[in-house]
Chains A and B, each alone.
Chain A
Amino acid sequence: MMEKEKRKKKVLVKEKVLEMPPVMEELSTVGKSAVRVDAYAKVRGKLQYGGDMDYPGALHGKVLRSPHAHALIKKIDTEKAKTLPGVVAVLTAKDIPGRNGFGAIIPDQPVLCGNKVRYIGDGIAMAAAISEDIAIQALDLIDVEYELLPAVFSPIEAMKPEAPKIHEKGNLITTSKIRKGDTEKGFKEADIVLEKTYTVPILEHAYIEPDVVIAIPHADGTITVKGPMQAPFTVRRNIAPVLGIPINKVQCIQTPLGGGFGGKEDSPIDIGARAAVLAWKTGRPVRMEYDREEITLSTCKRHPMIIACKIGAKKDGTFVAIEGTIYNEQGAYASLGPVIPPAGGVHAHAVVMLPGPYVIPNVKVDGYLVHTNHPYGGAMRGFGAPQVNFVHESIIDELAGLLKMDPYQIRLKNCFELGSETATGQVLDQSVGLKDTMEKARSEFHWNKKWKQAPHPKEVEKADKRRGVGMAVGWYRTSIGTFGDGCGVNLHLQEDGSVLIFQGLTEMGQGSYTALSQIAAEALGVTLEDVRIVTPDTDVAPESGPTVGSRSTTLMGNAILIASEPIKKSLIESASELLAIPTERLALKNRRIYDRDDPNRFVDLKEAARRCMATGRRMMGQGWYAPPRPSLNLETGQGSPYFVYTYSTQMAEVEVDVKTGAVDVLNLVATFDIGKAINPIMVEGQIEGGVIMGLGYALMEEVVMKDGMIQNLNLQDYIIPTALDTPEIKPIYMEYLNVHGPFGAKGIGEMPNIPAAPAITNAIANAVGARIYDLPAHSERVYMAIKKRLAEGN
């Protein structure tokens, strides 16, 4: 009792509820469903993607890849390949001008393997030729002698002392943990304890646009690399040391992305560095494109994990303790997996997110990130969260069943609200709308009417098809967090009142150019049409960090607001002179600068802009925004790793064919707390797309491995949802304003993807009484689960 009181007091002392300042003026651009700035170019088929660029005289580069999962390279003979007419260069590891390694966090992946290959698809040699066909023929003429090594394909096997060592330092990369309270004591106090193990598969991003780059060397010792990339600064940071030149001699220019989903944070480093080396060595422009099967074979994937979870609760459903052990398979290279300060990779996020958005006094999580000879895990929408969300939402649902509780009520009883303390000891002091998302989903979905206890096996046996409903909740960070984040922009006012934005975050379909233009337009009192975002180009854009972590709107939005201040000041001073009205009475809106006391007295903003130019007033602003500094103690897993979170509730209704195990998702309600929605129709688009990607995770997607080789390289075998798989989705958002966000925004990109899968698998369990512990829940797996359940009886 004493202990409990003390604890409560501590929370209250720490609790400092932050309030959003009221917005003084009515917004004219932000919060409106403006048409995307790139919509017309896209709908007319005119937008130039990377693959549409012609570069006269460019050579074509191709990569020779390892057919073995683990082997020593004894000899590479490129002589025959070099003599093929049309071949300009054939390169191996010894030809790399600088560091033979790249990687988003650590440079452990060879540009070309010198003495060892670590997965099927590892690059060994490259050819540049006058045509792609000749380059491919050249690869066929390269002779490689290997000495095969034993390979390991499971993280648990790879952790054993006798396992083949994939890297010098061993197979275990990072151990991450959370320690809070005393779980042993917690489980003793529990009335019920449930322990289960879950597995989640490797996933392919399946962005529809293939990876492609053009690398152009220049006479002054600089090089330009153009292509679809989510993180041009990360690409540049890797290419420079590979060529052995300073960062300021590498220019990365982004082309519009035909989808990224985290995959194009990593793959452009790989293809970019290789094309750059070929261009550097030949002195000629080189175009390199990975075809679909090469992308699936060689680029990063969603991390597969094996997760054991144990939860304890009181009879009334109050959670008292949770433990989790994550075996997180990194594959051959580190990519965006590890936790190496200042980088907190996928692994850190998965560990932090495992206890879910619930108040649980006793928490113990151990996460092991382990190398295997499989393709490597990188960033993919949700960054480790979908994996662990499936776990906590499945086990809680099962626990509710054992307690004969409504799964809605057990979640409501334990979930975060304002002032809650997370498993890492972070007090949520603002913008926590989770309970409202639950309530809204419940009423929109008619949960109370639709939900009933899962059926007895006898009822299932009699049926051909059965319907059921399921729900899941989730949380997700905004920003890179863990150890720090920051982002810059330059804003330039033009003399006609139009505006240019120089920044480095990329448009990959999510709509960032539109949302950021809306924020700039609102801040400067111009219209959306007056703002243009300059293509991200590392030569002219300030460091902006990567386009990841649902951070663009919030971080870049804030940077833009900061950058707009000096420009606003110039405009208002100029208008003050033109109108003979004191500056403090003036406001900017809809291309006018007007007297707040008498809005009929105004000057056109372009007149003020012209005067700024004529009178030598400052016409540019620079913005740098770093969110409140995060923290994470690696020993205890305690701290505030992210400065704000978004929340979601999803409810699904499914129909299960009892005789075949086929699952049809009938309808789905998805509610969100995302802070201010800068562009509502684009928010809905993010929700619907994310939910369907989650449906793919739930029911069909899996990179199938056999002896280290991917069995489903192209899209006829790697199945993603089509229009026929799409249920009716009701996207709903709520705006619990974020005090640290521009106009209160938090972010939306990744959250929708997260609770969809467990909402669907929980609905399957509700329909047929059989639980799914391994994704995806394809018909064979569901059929077997039903069969097992029927055999058990009761």
Chain B
Amino acid sequence: MAKEKIQFEVNGKQVSLEVDPDELLIDVLRDHLGLKGTKAGCRAGECGACSVILNDRVVTSCLIPALKADGGKITTVEGLEKDGELDPLQKAFVEKGAIQCGFCTPGMLLSAKNLLDQNPQPSVEEIKVAISGVLCRCTGYQKIIHAIHAASKTIPGNEV
């Protein structure tokens, strides 16, 4: 199979590389770009550990051919912190005890990030829906939900 050239923005940086037509986005992120924060749990789009934000939508990168990302804009967990400063969501996950084994954490954070970007004051139900595509076997979700809720309160204009 002939390789194809693609170009996209990942965590604010333009990258261009050659990929096989059947190569999946998760493998490009992990193996070509070294972004190993994106995890593979089931490779069937079910566990959500591989979730990334692609053009303002959360996608399971294990199901997306890398070619689909051509010209797109991607955020992975490594792109959440800005100039060494953690995103409010990351801080809230740490403070509220929302992390256990940590394997689902990147997918959870990105699902939450995309939610807050589009809906800065979500209800608990909206939070649950937003993260329902990411499976967590450790936490029982409650502390994750609380952390996302707490982070939403730090968004300017949302303070209570």
Interface residues of B in 82-107 (CB under 8 A from A): 86, 90, 93-97, 99-106
Take A207-B137, A684-B97 as given contacts and tell me if A723 and B103 are in contact as well, using a CB distance cutoff of 8 Å. Answer: no
A511-B93 in contact (CB<8A): no
**Minimal beta-carbon separation of A501 from chain B (angstroms):** 20
Q: Which residues of A contact B76 (CB under 8 A)?
A: 45
CA–CA, A616 to B94, complex, Å?
Answer: 41
Take A209-B41, A258-B39, A726-B128 as given contacts and tell me if A43 and B93 are in contact as well, using a CB distance cutoff of 8 Å. Answer: yes
Q: Which residues of B contact A688 (CB under 8 A)?
A: 139-143
Q: Which residues of B contact A42 (CB under 8 A)?
A: 99, 102, 105
Q: Which of B2-10, B44-52, B66-74 contacts A (4 or more CB under 8 A)?
A: B44-52
Which listed residue, B36, B86, B102, B141, touches A726 by the CB 8 Å rule? B141
B103-A726 in contact (CB<8A): no
B136 interface residue per 8 A CB criterion: yes
- Would you call the interface of chain B mostly helix, strand, loop, or mixed? loop
A715-B47 in contact (CB<8A): yes
Digitize A514-539: 1 where CB-to-B-CB distance is under 8 Å, 0 elsewhere.
00000000000000000000000000
B143-A693 in contact (CB<8A): no
CA–CA, A714 to B141, complex, Å?
Answer: 21
B117 interface residue per 8 A CB criterion: no
Take A49-B39, A208-B49, A511-B100 as given contacts and tell me if A43 and B94 are in contact as well, using a CB distance cutoff of 8 Å. Answer: yes
Interface residues of B in 121-160 (CB under 8 A from A): 127-129, 131-145
B101-A208 in contact (CB<8A): yes
**Minimal beta-carbon separation of B53 from chain A (angstroms):** 13
CA–CA, A728 to B142, complex, Å?
Answer: 8
A332 interface residue per 8 A CB criterion: no
B141-A43 in contact (CB<8A): no
Chain B interface extent, by class: 35 or more
Take A45-B76, A509-B102 as given contacts and tell me if A714 and B42 are in contact as well, using a CB distance cutoff of 8 Å. Answer: yes
**Minimal beta-carbon separation of B148 from chain A (angstroms):** 10
B18 interface residue per 8 A CB criterion: no
**Minimal beta-carbon separation of A233 from chain B (angstroms):** 21
A722 interface residue per 8 A CB criterion: yes
Take A43-B93, A691-B140 as given contacts and tell me if A722 and B100 are in contact as well, using a CB distance cutoff of 8 Å. Answer: no
CA–CA, A36 to B127, complex, Å?
Answer: 24
CA–CA, A182 to B112, complex, Å?
Answer: 59
Digitize A436-474: 1 where CB-to-B-CB distance is under 8 Å, 0 elsewhere.
000000000000000000000000000000000000000
A715-B42 in contact (CB<8A): yes
Q: Which residues of B contact A691 (CB under 8 A)?
A: 140
Q: Smallest CB-CB separation from B34: which chain A residue?
A: A54
Interface residues of A in 652-687 (CB under 8 A from B): 681-682, 684-685
B100-A47 in contact (CB<8A): no
Which listed residue, A39, A714, A716, A726, touches B94 by the CB 8 Å rule? A39
A509-B101 in contact (CB<8A): yes
CA–CA, A638 to B115, complex, Å?
Answer: 57
Which listed residue, B42, B97, B106, touches A682 by the CB 8 Å rule? B97
Which listed residue, B103, B129, B133, touches A258 by the CB 8 Å rule? B103
Q: Which has the most chain A C-beta neighbours within 10 Å: B35, B105, B109, B140?
A: B140
Give A residues with C-beta under 8 Å from B.
33, 35-36, 38-49, 51-52, 205-210, 256-259, 261, 291-292, 508-511, 681-682, 684-685, 688-693, 714-716, 720-724, 726, 728-729
Give me the 3 closest cross-chain CB pairs, A-B, nearest first. Answer: A45-B37, A509-B101, A258-B103
